[in-house]
A and B are shown apart, each in its own frame.
Chain A
């Protein structure tokens, strides 16, 4: 009985983690940017969806769309105002661009977080779920919301898979992650590809944020933790490897759920951190990473 419960809960949380981390890893794979404002953007999406539902009393679908739109806006803003100026700046030496992007996005994440906490307070908020009610799944009472979370996450990941592997635009993304210079020689505009990546990133992160808000609830204080968990999943799977991140998300999701159910909820993140350290020591490129 408990095994089934763990299986179902772990599955939902793992799908959500996968969705949350996949935009992050795509971004790194294609444009080499580690966006440390990731968690804050998720929080913005969730809080906007919550606010639309709670204050403007719109239906959950409109609220969710508004949340995703907010995430998209944040994503473009991050690119245009912070990442791009640093990448094109001539005053910053090439080998230090990485740390500047990290510091810049970190600061931007703090700004977003503080802005959210100023306008909407830092109380935990739960987005109204898309579907209410409970369903009995092989004898386990499971909220519909949990299944919707898993379903939407998987659907979004599936769409990304089709986009990247089946469309011309998607294939150019893949090519940019392998050899950006080769792509420019073929006449592709790299900037347009980067803008596209940030758009995809914004949508994925927005969906993840809204689902998270409906499933577990968020507070502006969570932004740092969310970034850290996305970062851990991505490194565990191998930086830039989308399938690695998927596997890693399931490893982390189930490990956390198992710890929470079988040991104690208070130490749910500890085994993950230990595993992460071990993997990074033994296999620095992550599970499926290429160096």
Chain B
């Protein structure tokens, strides 16, 4: 029931998204491309928060490490894009393991703070070594994914679909259930004979892999890697808002939330400075009155909440 309804919702939506380049202009495609990469950020975050139960305040630590590893290799070593992306993902997974070590010892706000500090440290390092990393201005990349809007759009859409399918499939699988159990009550899950540490570590690695890869793809789409686009706390905050807004513990909701956030930011652009205010207000209202998010009601009606 859960699965079939999800698929009934997702498949038509994907078809519409795949046909979009026929009808809309390059500008909107560009926005959606950005939104799809954000969607992967948010889905990876949801895997950690919604399933493994780890509050990660610094999704941009994983994203930033992946993006900058790829950017540095491309800028200085001129590695081809695919190799850079692979190296970036590996770097992000290493970062994920580094983050997982405290997560296995700390709980709640303490772990949250460590993740926040990780981002601040990364940001400080990038700015301090501005000579190498480009600092606040950013690092320009010799290679880009594609120049054409439509090609870029399809890259992003495919990437989001594949990542979403993998992450969603994972959460529906027995592994996902064990993860969810360890997130909600680690002691009981361990008493049932599941290896909580192993599963949480795996969740961190998977989340880091997709975050890092998406970060790498994003900077190769934009053509520059800068602190403001892949490391800044504000980016991480948006990722968290998107995931909670779309409905935590749904994976697909996180993607929906990201697309909503980017679209809302764009629609409200005439308001100028006030647009962030309005988007935050809308998100706050959703959180206060519909805590399940957009998809919470739709997917969790069968008493699983």
Contacts and interface: CB of A to CB of B under 8 A. Distances in A.
A272 B109 CA distance: 18
B280 A107 contact: yes
Contacts of B110: 235, 239, 280, 284
Given A111-B280, A111-B281, A91 B292 contact: yes
Contacts of B244: 99-100, 103
Contacts of A280: 102, 106, 110, 113-114, 117
B31 interface: no
Contact of A266 (B128, B280, B283, B288): B128
A118 B288 contact: no
A206 interface: no
Most buried by A among B233, B273, B280: B280
B7 interface: no
A103 B57 CA distance: 10
A228 B106 contact: no
B237 interface: yes
B120 A85 contact: no
Contacts of A99: 49, 55, 244
Contacts of B287: 86, 100, 103-104, 107
Contacts, number: 106
Contacts of B237: 106, 110
Interface in B181-204: 184
A273 B117 contact: yes
Nearest to B183: A95
Nearest to B106: A284
Interface string A218-244: 000000100010011001000100000
Interface in B253-305: 273-274, 276-277, 280-281, 283-284, 287-288, 291-292, 305
**What size tier do the contact residues of chain B reach?**
35 or more
A92 B109 contact: no
Contact of B121 (A28, A114, A270, A281): A270
Interface in A97-150: 98-100, 102-104, 106-108, 110-111, 114-115, 117-118
B277 A114 contact: yes
B116 interface: yes
A56 to B, nearest CB: 24
Contacts of B108: 98
Given A102-B55, A232-B117, A107 B109 contact: no
Given A114-B273, A114-B280, A267 B128 contact: yes
Contacts of B277: 110-111, 114-115, 118
A281 B102 contact: yes
A34 interface: yes
Interface in A59-105: 82, 85-86, 89, 91-93, 95-96, 98-100, 102-104
B241 interface: yes
Contact of B291 (A89, A107, A231): A89
A88 B288 CA distance: 11
A99 B291 CA distance: 11
Contacts of B120: 228, 269, 273
Contacts of A98: 55, 108-109
Nearest to A111: B280
A249 interface: no
Interface string B36-63: 0000000000000100000100000000
B238 to A, nearest CB: 10
Contact of B241 (A93, A107, A274): A107
A109 to B, nearest CB: 9
Contact of B113 (A92, A110, A231, A269): A231
Contacts of A82: 284, 288
A243 to B, nearest CB: 19
Contacts of A269: 120, 124
A93 B185 CA distance: 14
B105 interface: yes
Nearest to A93: B305
A99 B46 CA distance: 13
B277 to A, nearest CB: 4
A270 to B, nearest CB: 5
Contacts of B292: 91
A215 B277 CA distance: 28
Contacts of A228: 116, 120, 233
Nearest to B281: A111
Contact of B124 (A96, A104, A267): A267
Contacts of A274: 121
20 contacts: A89-B288, A91-B292, A96-B248, A106-B241, A107-B283, A110-B280, A111-B280, A114-B277, A118-B277, A228-B116, A228-B120, A231-B116, A232-B113, A273-B117, A274-B121, A277-B118, A280-B106, A280-B110, A281-B105, A284-B106
Interface of A: 28, 34, 82, 85-86, 89, 91-93, 95-96, 98-100, 102-104, 106-108, 110-111, 114-115, 117-118, 224, 228, 231-232, 235, 239, 266-267, 269-270, 273-274, 276-277, 280-281, 284
Given A108-B284, A239-B110, A273-B121, 4 more contacts: A98-B55, A98-B108, A228-B116, A273-B117
